[in-house]
Structure 1
Amino acid sequence: MPVRKSAAEVEQRRQEALRLVTGAGEVRIDQLAHRLGVSVMTAHRDLDDLQSRNLLQKRRGVAAAFSTVQRESSLRLREHVNAEFKAAIAEPLLDLVAPGDTVLIDCGSTLFPFVRALSEVEQLQVVTNSLRVSYLLSESATVTLLGDRVHPEFESCAGPEVLRQLDRFRVDVAFLTATCVHNGGLSHPVREYAENKEGFVAAAGRSILAVDGGKFGRTATYAHGDLSGYQTLITDDAVSRKELRAAEKCGVEVRTTVPARA
């Protein structure tokens, strides 16, 4: 008699299905079932669940990822992608923070596990444009939310007022994410966010960039500098050798974390 999987094991399998579909763009459901070692009926149930959470699209015989624009315009879609990488970098990022620091935290789901771990650090002053970050740290740190136009799809604020408010702070270390990295250059599909990211780097004593390998080799409409503005880049083992060489030429310290995968 087959052993019934726990809820945690089922969710882990569904996250693996999401990773496979996101990486390929589109996968036949029978092939996906084979990759996961489950029946086609089980694969359909998993995909129905992921579709109900707006994490992918299920079509006739195939599972399809959302387009780049759709993925980058919805925090809900991004939050569950590359979860292993996001969990793996929490501790390495935490090692870069000292009690009493003034920390600037960019919006982006990549940083959420790290933000949760920050509650352990005493006497932090946190500056952020992220509604989610401000909520997660509101009881454990002194938090200032930088405000301008609210972008619900990113759960954050962006615009010139964010940078005007930031002028009042002396930031020890900034933690940022990136949507696209190509040959050392950085870009974002929304102009206000590209401008804010440039301003965040300029305001900080040290700037740390956390980006999973899937963001490399891609470009978006609005450039916001390159990796030379950062002291440390934390990524994973999915980055191509070409992109790593371009990063190293920018003078940034590259730290590669290998996520625990099922």
Structure 2
Amino acid sequence: MRASRGSEAEVEERRQAVLRQVAQEGEIRIADLAQRMRVSVMTMHRDLDNLHDRQLLRKGRGVATAFSNVAMESALRFRENANVAVKNALADALAEEVSPGDTVLIDCGSTLFPLARRLASVDGIRVITNSLRVTYLLAGAPAEVTLLGDRYYEDFESCAGPQTRRQLQDIRATVAFVTATSVSEGRLFHPVREYAESKRAYLEAADRSVLAVDHSKFGRTATYPYGDVSGYDLLVTDAGTPESELRPVRDLGVEVRTVEVPSDAPHR
């Protein structure tokens, strides 16, 4: 059994692996998890205490249990702590698309949370979003923030539905930043119909639309297809995205910008 010590990034990577195991199986004995992760039972208890405190799973007597009412693939808390170094690199590129005085639409995906933090220092901008988390991240910033309202989805900490789409019809933004849950050969998919339809409305409400997607979302599909990437002006992704997925995007006339993630960047 290897030593459990490591950098903060390595520890967080292991905890994310533990979380995926529990999410996939529903319930696992702690001793079995320790064996799978090749760490001591004591180390596994510390990892599970951390995940329990972050409300990502339940730690019981001898077992770890996934939340039965949350699909961990969609749970915002899970996604927010995944691929953080990549999201920070994407945010640096996305922030270059914003100028003082712009009206900015921001989607609810966790990929855009680092961008929201960067926008807090941009003068004179107005931010419009359906994400409660984005509004929290901009609290105290000089930006004027408008929250789009409709049915609240706890897993995404945001609102979506026909009322959100009607509000977007009365908005003209300089730039819209949108995420995607799944992209396959230039086609877009989402597991929730209301979000799929809202993302289309974002495109119609902005002069320029930017799609921000990390490599892990490519080559996947979900329940509801909602067209392709052709409505976007720019796709920003990381260098881990395979060329086989980027070629169809370029063929649809969309500019592709890839960012490099520093090898020593923390993952959390």
1:103-114 equivalent positions in 2, closer than 5 A? 103-114=104-115
When residues 30 and 261 of structure 1 are mapped into structure 2, their CA distance, relative to the original with a 3 A threshold, is farther
Provide Cα deviations, 1:216-256, integer angstroms capped at 9, x if missing partner. Answer: 11111111221111111111232222112222222222222
TM-score by length of 1: 0.82
1:23-102 equivalent positions in 2, closer than 5 A? 29-30=34-35, 32-33=37-38, 41-43=42-44, 45-55=46-56, 70-102=71-103
Which of 181, 185, 188 does residue 187 from structure 2 map onto? 185
Shift of 1:15: 1.9
Partner in structure 2 of residue 16 of structure 1: 13
Opposite residue 37 of structure 2, the aligned amino acid is L
Q: Is the 8 A contact 1:72 1:179 kept in 2?
A: no
Partner in structure 1 of residue 123 of structure 2: 122
Which of 157, 167, 170 does residue 169 from structure 2 map onto? 167
When residues 32 and 261 of structure 1 are mapped into structure 2, their CA distance, relative to the original with a 3 A threshold, is farther
Provide Cα deviations, 1:155-177, integer angstroms capped at 9, x if missing partner. Answer: 11100111111122211100011
Shift of 1:57: 8.2
| 1:226 paired to 2:228 | yes
Look up the SS of the partner of 1:120 in the other structure: coil
When residues 113 and 243 of structure 1 are mapped into structure 2, their CA distance, relative to the original with a 3 A threshold, is same
Q: Is the 8 A contact 2:15 2:47 kept in 1?
A: no
1:240-259 equivalent positions in 2, closer than 5 A? 240-259=242-261
Opposite residue 163 of structure 1, the aligned amino acid is R
Which deviates the most, 133-142 or 91-100? Answer: 133-142
Percent of aligned pairs sharing the same letter:
54
Shift of 1:40: 6.3
The number of equivalent residue pairs is 250
Look up the SS of the partner of 2:105 in the other structure: strand
Question: Which ranges of structure 2 fall in alignment gaps of 5 or more residues?
Answer: 26-31
TM-score by length of 2: 0.81
When residues 137 and 49 of structure 1 are mapped into structure 2, their CA distance, relative to the original with a 3 A threshold, is closer
Shift of 1:21: 5.6
Q: Is the 8 A contact 1:21 1:63 kept in 2?
A: no
RMSD: 3.1
